[in-house]
């Protein structure tokens, strides 16, 4: 599951936007500035002269990271260079820039836990930065990339939804807020689809109470997804199977009120009609309350 934007990459030169093949990013093509420096200096010691290796300049390390990222297409090596900036120059402005770039490099390499760790650290240390929105967006994206099967573990889905919601809440005017909303809807649709799959499984086993609980989750929590129409029809079917006719009528009535042209409504109507009843809303039903019908 890809994402749509990338941060501005800093160099000591000028940056130009360009498209990358990976769907995540608009990556800047930057001139790599390598600063030649002396690698060591001699110092005296109590035990004689020793050669001590000095730290590399922050901008040299940073631009080496850009080189590995843009020219060598080696995001893992790039991440190491960016981390060296933070290690050797922890209080510099380059360290702040490199921290975000290491998160992006880890994302590009598919090292999602490392990406999340770096991005979370950036948000914690630099919440007021112009790039904090992107760091928060990376957290959501890296979690979303790890949603292999929502049937097995909802944790990543929940963490991704939470991170994207934070982008919208904290940075509503950022370019990432729009994309975060799209990602939220996509993930919610996935989770709702899994609830429907499990509900159908219970229906086939004639465990109608178990099925109702799953369909109820879709109606209450995932009402804006494409699965809600089928969920209401399945509720009609399940309640009829249990002999709870008033709830079945309500589910069909709410379905018809909100989706009058839906094939699922036609199926629910025919199901009720075959039993000699019509859709009729009971306003005291949880289904009515969930949809807040007037």
* pTM (two decimals): 0.71
Extract the residue ranges of the chain whose pLDDT is less than 50: 1-6, 8-54, 293-294
Assigned token pair, 57? 């300049």
- Find where tokens 């993930």 sit: 187
d(CA 143, CA 155): 9
The conformational region for residue 292 under phi > 0 = left, psi -120 to 50 = alpha, else beta, is: left
Is residue 255 within 8 A of residue 242, CB to CB? The reply is no
pLDDT value for 96 = 93
pLDDT value for 147 = 83
pLDDT value for 211 = 98
Q: Is the dihedral of CA 80, 83, 85, 87 positive or negative?
A: negative
42 phi and psi, to 5 degrees?
-100, 135
Residue ranges matching CATH 1.25.40.10 in the chain: 15-30+56-191
pLDDT value for 283 = 87
pLDDT in tens, 135-185: 999 999 999 998 876 666 678 888 999 999 999 999 999 999 999 999 999
pLDDT value for 8 = 43
pLDDT value for 291 = 87
Q: Which CATH architecture group holds 15-30+56-191?
A: Alpha Horseshoe (1.25)
Measured CA to CA in angstroms, residue 45 lies from 31, 40, 53 at distances of 41, 15, 14
- Find where tokens 């249990």 sit: 242
Q: Is the dihedral of CA 114, 117, 66, 145 positive or negative?
A: positive
pLDDT value for 150 = 62
d(CA 215, CA 285): 15
H or E stretch covering 138: helix 132-145
Residues 6+ apart with CB under 8 A from 77: 68
- Selection from 236, 231, 227 nearest residue 281 by Cα: 236
3-state SS, residue 160: helix
């Amino acid at each position: 599951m890809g994402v749509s934007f990338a941060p501005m990459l800093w160099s000591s030169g000028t940056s130009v936007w360009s498209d990358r093949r990976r769907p995540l990013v608009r990556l800047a093509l930057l001139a790599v500035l390598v600063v030649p420096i002396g690698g060591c200096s001699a110092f005296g010691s109590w035990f004689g002269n020793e050669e001590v290796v000095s730290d590399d300049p922050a901008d040299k390390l940073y631009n080496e990271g850009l080189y590995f990222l843009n020219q060598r297409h080696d995001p893992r090596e790039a991440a190491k260079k960016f981390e060296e900036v933070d290690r050797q120059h922890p209080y510099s402005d380059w360290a702040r820039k490199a921290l975000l770039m290491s998160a992006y490099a880890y994302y590009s390499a598919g090292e999602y836990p490392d990406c999340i760790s770096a991005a979370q650290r950036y948000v914690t240390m630099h919440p007021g930065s112009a790039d904090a929105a992107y760091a928060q967006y990376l957290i959501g994206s890296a979690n979303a990339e790890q949603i292999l099967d929502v049937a097995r573990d909802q944790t990543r889905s929940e963490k991704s939804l939470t991170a994207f919601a934070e982008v919208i809440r904290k940075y509503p005017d950022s370019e990432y807020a729009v994309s975060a909303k799209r990602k939220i809807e996509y993930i919610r649709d996935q989770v709702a689809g899994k609830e429907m799959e499990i509900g159908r499984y219970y229906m086939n086993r004639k465990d109608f109470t178990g099925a109702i609980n799953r369909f109820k989750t879709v109606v209450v929590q995932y009402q804006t997804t494409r699965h809600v129409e089928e969920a209401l029809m399945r509720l009609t079917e399940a309640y009829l199977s249990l002999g709870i006719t008033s709830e079945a009528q309500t589910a069909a009535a709410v379905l018809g009120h909100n989706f009058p042209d839906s094939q699922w409504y036609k199926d629910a109507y025919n199901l009720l009609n075959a039993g000699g009843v019509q859709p009729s809303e009971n306003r005291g039903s949880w289904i009515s309350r969930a949809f807040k019908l007037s």
